[in-house]
Amino acid sequence: MNLPRQRLEAKIYGRVQGVGFRVFVRDKALALGLSGYAKNKFFPQRHVEVVAEGPKPALQTLLRFLEEGPSLARVQRVDVQWGPAAGEFSGFRVG
């Protein structure tokens, strides 16, 4: 059964830059079969932006990983938006 693809857009705040967060996200996303990207953002506040597409159960699993982060990260807040997949990604990249 093919589940419809969804889109997760997340902004992760806290100590999330310089701690391997983006590579952590990429590895988890690829293991879950998701496509998209993770990149550092600096305005208006430092955070990591993640956009991922795939089946909602896999995206929900990724969201749990985003809320925890790698061992050196300290996640304070995750802002999330859900929507329909746009189909614009192939693979998962770190920006």
Burial pattern 53-64, b for ≥16 Cβ within 10 A else e, equals bbbeebbebbbe
Stated length of the chain: 95
Q: What is the largest CA-CA distance in the chain?
A: 42
Q: Is the bond preceding residue 44 a cis peptide, omega within 30 degrees?
A: yes
Catalytic: 2? no
What amino acid occupies position 23? V
Catalytic: 40? yes
Q: Which of 5, 15, 40, 93 is catalytic?
A: 40
Distance of CA 58 to the CA centre of its chain: 11
Instruction: Tell me the catalytic residues.
Output: 22, 40
